[in-house]
Amino acid sequence: MHAIGVDIGGTKIAAGVVDEEGRILAQTRRDTEPDDVASIDRAIADVYVELSTKHDVGAIGLAAAGFVSPDRTSVLFAPNIAWREYPLARNVRDLLGDDDVSIVVENDANAAGWAEFQFGVARDATDMLMLTVGTGLGGAIVVDRALVRGKWGVAAEVGHMRVVPGGHYCGCGHEGCWEQYASGTALVRDAQAP
């Protein structure tokens, strides 16, 4: 039995089938619109159909760029995607119509960090800190071989730590977040500034 991992970002989703050893067996990608959340759900269902026709899939991991609920079924808030208290797992399950497939939602940086810890350069470590730089800035923390989520599931959301008081406005609603100075979006903005 295999799993599909779906990385949901601000501009695209990338999906792949992986085996128990973390090897990628197949992959695909779809462009998305961050303001049309229903189209993101449909794109996820579409990649599931594409990838599951050639592979026996028992689980889907949805790596979401945002604050994920502690029960890992919903996105509470996303600064760069129009998710607000969004039941992502339920919506995708409704589109698939398959109750036998397990669906888990995880913060995208946590998912990337856990994969790196399990299968990548950190596989021999007991503790790890990882930063992810993309549309936003995320983080993952592993302590004593356990992923640290925190009480509300957002322990490593370092991109929304205020580092510049009164700084650039952030999609999370605050000003001066680290993400506004150390993300792909920030680099493009600063490069294009006169």
Domains and CATH numbers, the chain: 2-110 (3.30.420.40), 124-192 (3.30.420.40)
Do β-strands 128-133 and 67-68 pair in parallel, antiparallel, or remain unpaired? unpaired
113 C-beta neighbours (distance < 10 Å), count: 27
pLDDT along the chain (194 residues), means of 10: 91 93 95 90 95 95 92 91 95 92 95 94 95 90 94 85 94 92 92 91
Q: How high is the pLDDT of residue 136?
A: 87
Q: What is the pLDDT of residue 80?
A: 83
Q: What's the confidence (pLDDT) of residue 126?
A: 96
Instruction: Give pLDDT, residue 29.
Output: 96
* Per-residue model confidence (pLDDT) at position 65: 86
